[in-house]
Amino acid sequence: QSVLTQPPSASGTPGQRVTISCSGSSSNIESNYVYWYQHLPGTAPKLLIYSNDQRPSGVPDRFSGSKSGTSASLAISGLRSEDEADYYCAGWDDSLSGVIFGGGTKLTVL
């Protein structure tokens, strides 16, 4: 069981907006940065969001991140078929003194 809790699945149709949640605690999300990764099994994970809401260069602005208290969210607007992947939130946990990942959310584009 992951310290960061994500829904196991999410879905949407092309063009829709989808939100994936990540719930944590005061020792991780509330007091540290949140990161989001996109992962297609068999390939390297890709950093989508850093520092809660910042996009690395090359990441489309369809992807956005937010954080409030002990929760964070990843929003994907204008959903595209190539967005179908697993999405993970991650961050540092002060109590564990380590990086933690959420359990992952499998996004299906219907």
Partner 1 sequence: QVQLQESGPGLVKSSETLSLTCTVSGGSISSTIYYWGWIRQPPGKGLEWIGAIYYGGTTYYNPSLKSRVTISKDTSKNQFSLNLNSVTAADTAVYYCGRSGPTIGYMDVWGQGTTVTVSS
Binding site for partner 1 (CB under 8 A): 2, 32-33, 35, 37, 39, 41-45, 47, 50-51, 56, 86, 88, 90-92, 96-104
Q: Which is nearer to partner 1, 53 or 77 (CB)?
A: 53
3-state secondary structure of 88: strand
d(CA 100, CA 31): 13
Q: Which is nearer to partner 1, 12 or 91 (CB)?
A: 91
Report in angstroms how near the CB of residue 14 gets to partner 1 at its nearest.
26
Contacts of 42 (CB under 8 A, 6+ apart): none
Looking at the DSSP assignment, which residues form a beta bridge with residue 76?
Answer: 18, 63
Q: Which is nearer to partner 1, 83 or 86 (CB)?
A: 86
Q: Which is nearer to partner 1, 35 or 63 (CB)?
A: 35
Residue 83: what are its φ and ψ, rounded to 5°? -80, -10
Report in angstroms how near the CB of residue 32 gets to partner 1 at its nearest.
8
- CA-based nearest residue to 36, from 56, 17, 18, 16: 56
